[in-house]
Structure 1
Amino acid sequence: MKVEPSNTEILVVDDTVDNVKLLSQLLQNEGYLVKGALSAKSALRMCQKKKPDLILLDIMMPEVDGYELCRQLKKDPSTQDIPVIFLSALDHVQDKVRAFQIGGVDYIQKPFEVMEVLARVRTHAGLVTLQRALIEQNEQLKRMATTDALTGLVNRRYLADMAGKVSGNFALILFDIDDFKTINDQYGHHVGDEVLVRIAEITRRVIGQHGYCARWGGEEFLILLPNFDVKRAYDLAAGIQYEFNESKGALGAYHFTASFGVACNLGSLSFHQVIRQADAAMYQGKKSGKNRVVSSRAMESREL
């Protein structure tokens, strides 16, 4: 992986102004972004404010030496992963061993050779770039494993996991886009995809921080609402239904509606049992003419 120096910020820490100026100039000539600090305390403040990608650190400094600064950086979770290259005139083996023991990644002895400094900085800057790319890749893989690619909503696996972490009551809203096959057949699958994305946008906006919405499969969506009873969930579903109806024409000549089923666990039913209740309520809404919100409680009342 190619290292772009302009994307790498280096902090040079030395109590001698000339050393800071010299190293800063060398690194800036290579394209690195460089900042300097003349004391450990100043360097610590700078790192806590904005983390550099790499630190070149002198050992022999007044008040707080380089060893102690490195120790403090490694104790702080927000700065512990910053690579530290020690620069020192100390040439004893035990000095170098100590530098590595407290978390240094390299040790350059003064007086230093310019080419050696640049080579070592280039190596560690490359490792930083690689690590950053791996972290971003892992985050992307996590998103892919838990997110529906089309709508950006969480997927059914993620929602099921979240339901397992909910303690106490929760409500579910299961809804299905009415006549979605007709939309695909008449306008094309690209329009169907636009409808799914629009559905996701509206639903996400209406539920806000109250719960989680997943694309449950195809044109079916499931909302998990922790600490909601049936009435609150019903009202929320009605609000989503209203927004869908108001969106007629927002995507052109076609419009969409959905049928909603609402159910609550009341502290005794399992997640999958509540889904079955919500599913039955939703299909009752389909049978009643579509574009309906039906709660499992209303179905129980009719059965009684």
Structure 2
Amino acid sequence: MKNIRVCVADDNRDEVLILCESLKLHNYEAIPAFCGVEALDLCKSGSVDLLLLDIGLPDIDGIEVCRRLKADPNTRDIPIIFVSARGSSQDVALGHELGAVDYIAKPYNLPMVLVAVEMALRTLHTSAYIDSPVEFWDDPIYTDPLTGLRNYRYLMERLEEEIVRTDRHKSPLSCIVLDFADYDIDEEEITERTELIESESFLQDVALALKQNSRSCDILTRFESSKFVIVLPNQNLERAIKYAQKIAKEVEKNFLEEEKTVSLQSKFGIVSCKDKCVPSGEELLGIAMKNLLRAFTRPGISIVGKDLTEKKEVFL
């Protein structure tokens, strides 16, 4: 029932005040902060929904402010957009690594700021806002009611946006498709296994594992049945594989702890790309799906990954 509260943290007072006034004209509640301590205090007080954070703050730099916010359970979900006059690829990579959802370069360009803010707000998991300047994506048409993850419609719209962002920043992007297979299974167990992995409790356990092991900027979706799709901004093939292995370990550990009578193995199809090699969202998802199928049809293989930029494949 209130407008979105955007904190602009920058030590250039004139630039901050001008940007805040511009954001107010677009129905945002804009809050200035002129140093790192002030930005931290505002975020911890619950007064901020999104933070535009200058890297070069005088007291505590933006990097450290971001680290502290992401380490605090009360502030870790605040979307952060890094701002810097340098605009280097190292800054972009570090920002994503710390959990920032986007990066914009100075001088401020209002249309670009507005686009970045609207995209960043889509990472919010909950919202009580009606009079916001953007369409909040907690709408049921974008959410899987069983798991609380996003659905196919949200995936395809956000995937295209991430591809545009990847091309703009020349940063990597990975797409993972996850499904589950049995091993050492006989005909009598097939029905039991199918019922299990399509059960509400199992799917909710998988969704919880994804939420607990992902960054706020990652896109987590239930695609269909027991199939999940995860989009990892600024993550190359090597890191996407490590992420997949971590998820597999968590899901299979929980599965074994529940002492199920059938066995389970996580299967992953992964595709990564960067720069000019980035295809459309449908093409990227299609390649990941094909790799998932290859993982299913190769005995002893749980992960098939492909790097479109370096033109290499991985089988694990």
Q: TM-score if structure 1 supplies the norm length?
A: 0.48
Compare the two structures and name the one with the higher helix fraction.
1
Larger relative contact order, structure 1 or 2 (CA cutoff 8 Å, min sep 6): 2
Please identify the structure whose Cα radius of gyration is greater: 1
